[in-house]
Amino acid sequence: MILSSIVAASLNNGIGKDNQLPWHLPADLKFFKTTTMGCPVVMGRKTFQSIGRTLPGRKNVVITRDKTFNADKAFDIEVVSGIEEAITSLQSEREVFIIGGGEIFRQSMDLIDTIYLTVVNTTLEADVFFPEIDKTKFELVWEEAHLADEKNKFDYTFQKYVRK
Ligand SMILES: NC(=O)c1ccc[n+]([C@@H]2O[C@H](COP(=O)([O-])OP(=O)(O)OC[C@H]3O[C@@H](n4cnc5c(N)ncnc54)[C@H](OP(=O)(O)O)[C@@H]3O)[C@@H](O)[C@H]2O)c1
């Protein structure tokens, strides 16, 4: 199984503010959807509540310490007590995506094989950050730069890093 993180971060590594994304970048949402479609997505409870729904076409796995979370089965999600449990339960999958947020990205940094990073070309106020990518451990293997347009307010670059 390939374990990947997928994230969009500003130049100061900001990824969230007030439990929301700090920007609206439809091109990145499209990239996220295309890249993750068909694969399980693993997220922290706060990110799940920020999205507010299950992501269709993907098994949604939510990490929480709250044993009663989704006890009423209101959402079609799998609830797990930590990253290790998520990985164990998804071992037979081809690729699994860690989709955030900050706490979960931080705790999975030593476990992941690949990082899909969208660099959002701005410096914004944020209260949640992506960890600095250790370039001695990860190698940039692909990138694709895009200019801002009427729908996407900032320039952005899709990057893919793989563990050396
Ligand atoms: N830009 C991006 O690409 C991107 C992607 C995703 C999210 N975000 C942003 O990131 C922010 C949310 O990130 P966050 O760091 O605040 O929260 P988070 O990582 O989404 O979720 C944190 C929660 O996960 C659970 N958790 C964390 N570690 C755990 C462990 N070891 N064992 C069991 N449960 C654990 C806890 O849930 P309980 O409290 O229920 O126990 C904790 O409160 C939002 O602003 C969101 O918009 C940005």
Cβ neighbours of residue 129 under 8 Å, at least 6 residues apart?
Answer: 9, 12, 13, 14, 15, 102
- Per the structure, the count of domains in the chain is 1
| Separation of alpha carbons 101 and 15, rounded Å | 8
Which ligand 1 atom sits closest to the C-alpha of 105?
A: 19
Can you say whether the dihedral through the CA atoms of 113, 10, 86, 40 is positive or negative?
negative
Task: State how far Cα 89 lies from the chain centre.
Answer: 19
Output the residue whose Cα is nearest ligand 1's atom 8.
101
Q: Is residue 20 packed enough to be buried (19+ CB in 10 Å), middle (13-18) or exposed (0-12)?
A: exposed
Q: Is 50 helix (H, G, I), strand (E, B) or coil?
A: helix
22 lines ligand 1 (CB under 6 A): no
Which ligand 1 atom sits closest to the C-alpha of 32?
A: 3
Q: List the chain pLDDT tens, one digit each, 164 residues.
A: 999 999 999 999 999 999 999 999 999 999 999 999 999 999 999 999 999 999 999 999 999 999 999 999 999 999 999 999 999 999 999 999 999 999 999 999 999 999 999 999 999 999 999 999 999 999 999 999 999 999 999 999 999 999 99
Q: Cα–Cα distances in Å, from 81 out to 32, 69, 96, 133?
A: 25, 10, 17, 26
**Token representation of residue 35:** 């890249």
Cβ atoms of 163 and 137 closer than 8 Å = yes
The structure's pTM equals 0.98
DSSP conformation class of 153: -
Task: Write the CATH number for 96.
Answer: 3.40.430.10
Q: What is the pLDDT of residue 46?
A: 98
119 lines ligand 1 (CB under 6 A): no
| Beta-bridge partner residues of 140 | 161
Peptide bond just before 101 cis, omega within 30 deg: yes
Domain interval for residue 75: 2-163
Which ligand 1 atom sits closest to the C-alpha of 19?
A: 45
